Amino acid sequence: MPRGDKSAYTDKQKRQAEHIEEGYENRGVPKDEAEKRAWATVNKTTGGGKKSGSGRGQPVNKAPARQGGKKGSATTTARAAALRSASAKKAAQTRSQRARALTTKKTGAQGFSHK
């Protein structure tokens, strides 16, 4: 089996790798690097391609996925407090507007506000 051959992986592992790769690409990682990282994560969590045979199952290690989440969190906390505050205020305002629009839609009341 040549290097890079994915035939030994289950459909679930292939789906996982695809999903992880999309996440990296959304964060701006180049496609080839995202693919490498995705398969490295799948290998780390599931122990590589699954082989046939009884008693070969191993528990899944979720530590690599948690590690990625922690890295994302560290990036957020590295932003200046003023930027985080402005972002939070904008999000709160958006939620408020959407909630107001939803109640207006449900009750049919137009032009009524609780200010």
Which pLDDT value is given to residue 79?
77
Q: Which residue ranges make up each domain of the chain?
A: 8-49+62-78, 79-115
Q: Which of 66, 67, 48 is nearest to 56 (CA)?
A: 48
Beta-carbon count within 10 A of 98 CB: 10
Which pLDDT value is given to residue 49?
80
Q: How far apart are CA 90 and CA 99, in angstroms?
A: 14
Which pLDDT value is given to residue 10?
87
pTM of the model: 0.52
63-110 tens-digit pLDDT: 877 776 666 667 777 778 888 888 889 999 999 998 888 888 777 666
Which pLDDT value is given to residue 109?
60
16-32 tens-digit pLDDT: 999 999 998 998 999 99
Contact call for residues 56 and 48 (beta carbons, < 8 A): no
